Amino acid sequence: MPIPEGILLNGIEMFILVFFRMTGLFVIAPIFGRRNIPVYIKVGFALISSLLLMNAVKMGPLEYDQNLYAYTLIIFKEFIVGIILGYIATVVFDAILMAGQMIDMQIGFGMVNVLDPISNIQIPITANFYYMISMMVLLASNGHHIIMRALFESYKFIPAGKTAFNSVLMSDVISIFSKMFLIGFKIAAPVIAAVLVTDVALGIISKSIPQINVFIVGMPAKIILGVLVMMITVPAFIYLVGFMVGELDNEMLKVIKDMVFQK
């Protein structure tokens, strides 16, 4: 089924591909993918960014044999490329949410969730606290610039219509997903260790002095100790988030190179 010639005028077919890759990024990426941002603003920003990218990046000829079905498949691939790049940036903040969940389960806040109006889901209060800090660190360290630059740089390695999805890409994406659990555990480790020591101490006390109600004493003790350790480790948490945001460049570039089409 041939594409009408009118659609091919002025490079509109290339602009559509750029727009869909940009839209895929905005669907899931931190800051850009937030639900509190109206859809028409996202679409407008994607259109403006696509226009800027079309003029800033050299676009090669598009090879699809003037076939509508082949062109539709290329559009889908471009959208998936944007989704993948946005997912890499989101993993860091998913790890922070997971760390907050682990901390709340340890200090006794596991049943206390708050509704996040931005993501429209219920999240633990500690995770919400960590997440707000991480968003401020992302903005302060120009992490949103890193995300946008990665999309612009992707066209140097992956021209429109020349995307490849292979086993190496899947392996790297799974590896990054597994790193999320490791990062989350590192963030939650100080609080988990402090609560573990507290549990051991309370166990010894309960055996030594049976008259003390360990349950009544233990719950507030865990909360106080957990909050105290969180306050002490906030500077280290900010440093860790800043380091992870700085590593986004390398991780996104690695995934981009995995999608390079090999002849």
Q: What's the confidence (pLDDT) of residue 101?
A: 81
Q: What's the confidence (pLDDT) of residue 181?
A: 81
H helices then E strands: how many in the chain? 8, 2
The answer to whether residues 150 and 253 touch, using CB atoms and an 8 Å cutoff, is yes
Q: What's the confidence (pLDDT) of residue 10?
A: 43
Q: What's the confidence (pLDDT) of residue 75?
A: 83
Q: What's the confidence (pLDDT) of residue 15?
A: 81
What is the spatial distance between Cα 186 and Cα 95, in angstroms, rounded to a whole number? 10
3-class DSSP state of 116: strand
Tokens found for residue 258: 């995995």
pLDDT for 85-140, tens place per residue? 888 888 878 888 888 888 887 777 666 665 555 555 566 778 778 888 888 888 88
Torsion of CA 30, 31, 32, 33, to 10 degrees: 60
The answer to whether residues 168 and 258 touch, using CB atoms and an 8 Å cutoff, is yes
The β-bridge relationship of strands 121-124 and 113-116 is antiparallel
What is the spatial distance between Cα 165 and Cα 112, in angstroms, rounded to a whole number? 41
Enter the pTM of the model: 0.76
Q: What's the confidence (pLDDT) of residue 33?
A: 64
Which portions of the chain are predicted below pLDDT 50?
Answer: 1, 3-10
Contacts of residue 127, Cβ cutoff 8 Å, sequence gap at least 6: 96, 97, 98, 99, 100, 101, 103, 104
Q: What's the confidence (pLDDT) of residue 61?
A: 64
Q: What's the confidence (pLDDT) of residue 28?
A: 80
Rounded to whole angstroms, what are the CA distances from 204 to 95, 106, 192, 199, 218?
34, 19, 19, 9, 12
Q: What's the confidence (pLDDT) of residue 9?
A: 46
What is the spatial distance between Cα 238 and Cα 111, in angstroms, rounded to a whole number? 26
Q: What's the confidence (pLDDT) of residue 7?
A: 43
